[in-house]
């Protein structure tokens, strides 16, 4: 999430009562490091290392992490394959990723001790974070861990895709790729809240398809492991669809282009697993239909939509409270469980769209 850093703290800033105030932090803390490049991912590729607890400099805060998010791009960065958005981890270095925690020491005028923040230096117990890279979150609205899922970057990505890029209108039929991923889960639910008349998802295999229908609440689902996606989608939506939210990979985008009605809109997003796919995926063979059908395709880079976070939170916190926006979380406890949590995410977790690690109560 490098494009999100440097922008987060512009939302909901607070003034610190005491700059330089120290909370309680031990002299040593632990972090998860990469010790070998994985073939088949194993906990042995990682180690728990003890290091000195860092101290913040001017404009920084020390965060005691309470929740860590286990995301697919972390697995992709363990391979030594250059990628602009997610560069590879170096051997011997600590992993990083989305986390929520409590500020225990501050040298920022904007973030006081005791504030809960979202940031991207997870996979460790304590992190020094620039105040400009920390998003203050309101735990009175929702539990802290919700900001790693439907109230966080996955939810905002789905919201921006549907409202800004694809401009979903009441009565539209929506097709959401990868329905059981964090972004796909949020997009399906948000599309319904925005008035979609029917929400169709894609999933991989019979179990994933059943999960999308029974757990994530999709109306209809195509199985992209069961033959032509275009033919399946045409059977489910013979009159076409109005909106597509999904990745730009060939078969899914080709099916969307084939099925979108004249004037249809597509929002192209990352579902978090793009970094795990280092081979070239063939593009769609029907690009001419974008012109023929006057389709609109927009890429969604989440760093460009962070200003919409307050608006999204206002809507989504209410949806969360009423139970119409939800996430299915698999929670591991303790930093020592982080390698096992990553392996579980890689192998697939039935009925869960999020894998989280709880470090502290």
Count Cβ atoms below 10 Å from residue 19 Cβ, excluding itself.
16
Tell me the C-alpha distance between 49 and 339, whole Å.
13
Assign domain 2-149+327-358 to its CATH architecture: Alpha-Beta Complex (3.90)
pLDDT computed for residue 258 by the predictor: 97
pLDDT computed for residue 279 by the predictor: 54
> Does an H or E element contain 204, and which?
none
Residue 7 or residue 45, greater confidence: 45
Which residues 6+ apart lie within 8 Å of 322 measured at CB? Answer: none
106 neighbors 81 (Cβ within 8 angstroms): no
pLDDT at 181 over 50: yes
* pLDDT confidence bin for 23, thresholds 50/70/90: low
Nearest to 313 by CA among 8, 1, 3, 2: 8
Provide the pairing of β-strand 60-70 with 126-130: antiparallel
pLDDT computed for residue 272 by the predictor: 54
Q: Of 8-12, 35-39, 105-109, 204-208, give the lowest mean pLDDT range.
A: 8-12
Would you say domain 155-303 falls under CATH 3.40.50.720? yes
Tell me the C-alpha distance between 359 and 127, whole Å.
13
Longest dimension (CA), the chain: 64
Nearest to 65 by CA among 131, 124, 132: 124
Nearest to 190 by CA among 324, 304, 352: 324
Question: In sequence order, what DSSP letters do the residues of 213-271 get, joined into one string?
Answer: HHTS--SEEEETTSS-HHHHHHHH-TT-EEEEEE---HHHHHHHHHHEEEEEEEEE---
pLDDT computed for residue 83 by the predictor: 73
Please state the φ and ψ torsions of residue 115, each to the nearest 5 degrees. -75, 140
pLDDT computed for residue 280 by the predictor: 61
Nearest to 68 by CA among 346, 330, 352: 330
Q: Which residues of 200-239 are buried (b: 16+ CB within 10 A; e: fewer)?
A: bbbbbeeebbebbbebbbbbbbbbbeeeebbebbbebbee
The whole model's pTM is what?
0.83
Q: Of 192-201, 280-289, 295-304, 348-357, give the lowest mean pLDDT range.
A: 348-357
pLDDT computed for residue 302 by the predictor: 84
Count how many residues are written for the chain: 361
Q: What is the average per-residue pLDDT within 64-87?
A: 88
Q: What is the average per-residue pLDDT within 192-202?
A: 97
Count Cβ atoms below 10 Å from residue 291 Cβ, excluding itself.
8
Q: Taking the domains of the chain in order of start, what are their residue ranges?
A: 2-149+327-358, 155-303
């Amino acid at each position: 999430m490098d494009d999100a850093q440097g922008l987060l703290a512009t939302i909901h800033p607070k003034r610190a009562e005491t700059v330089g105030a120290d909370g309680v932090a031990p002299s040593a803390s632990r972090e998860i490091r990469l010790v070998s490049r994985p073939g088949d991912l194993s906990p042995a590729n990682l180690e728990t290392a003890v290091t000195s607890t860092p101290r913040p400099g001017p404009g920084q805060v020390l965060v005691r992490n309470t929740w860590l998010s286990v995301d697919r791009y972390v697995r992709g960065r363990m391979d030594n394959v250059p990628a602009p958005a997610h560069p590879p981890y170096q051997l011997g270095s600590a992993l990083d990723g989305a986390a929520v925690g409590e500020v225990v020491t501050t040298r920022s005028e904007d973030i006081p001790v005791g504030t809960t923040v979202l940031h991207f230096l997870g996979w460790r117990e304590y992190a020094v974070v620039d105040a400009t890279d920390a998003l203050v979150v309101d735990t009175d609205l929702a539990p802290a861990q919700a900001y790693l899922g439907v109230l966080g970057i996955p939810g905002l990505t789905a919201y921006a895709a549907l409202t800004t890029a694809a401009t979903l209108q009441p009565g539209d039929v929506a097709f959401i790729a990868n329905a059981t991923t964090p972004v796909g889960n949020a997009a399906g639910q948000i599309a319904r809240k925005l008035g979609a008349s029917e929400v169709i998802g894609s999933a991989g295999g019979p179990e994933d398809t059943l999960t999308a229908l029974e757990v994530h609440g999709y109306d209809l689902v195509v199985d992209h492991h069961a033959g032509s996606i275009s033919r399946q989608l045409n059977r489910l939506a013979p009159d076409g669809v109005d909106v597509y939210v999904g990745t730009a990979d060939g078969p899914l985008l080709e099916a969307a282009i084939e099925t979108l009605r004249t004037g249809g809109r597509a929002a192209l997003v990352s579902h978090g697993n793009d970094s795990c796919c280092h081979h070239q995926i063939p593009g769609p063979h029907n690009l001419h239909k974008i012109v023929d059908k006057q389709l609109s395709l927009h890429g969604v880079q989440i760093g460009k939509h962070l200003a919409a976070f307050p608006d999204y939170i206002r809507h989504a916190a209410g949806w969360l409270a009423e139970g119409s926006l939800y996430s299915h979380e698999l929670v591991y406890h303790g930093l020592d469980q982080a390698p096992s949590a990553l392996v579980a995410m890689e192998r697939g977790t039935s009925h869960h769209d999020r894998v989280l690690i709880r470090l502290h109560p």
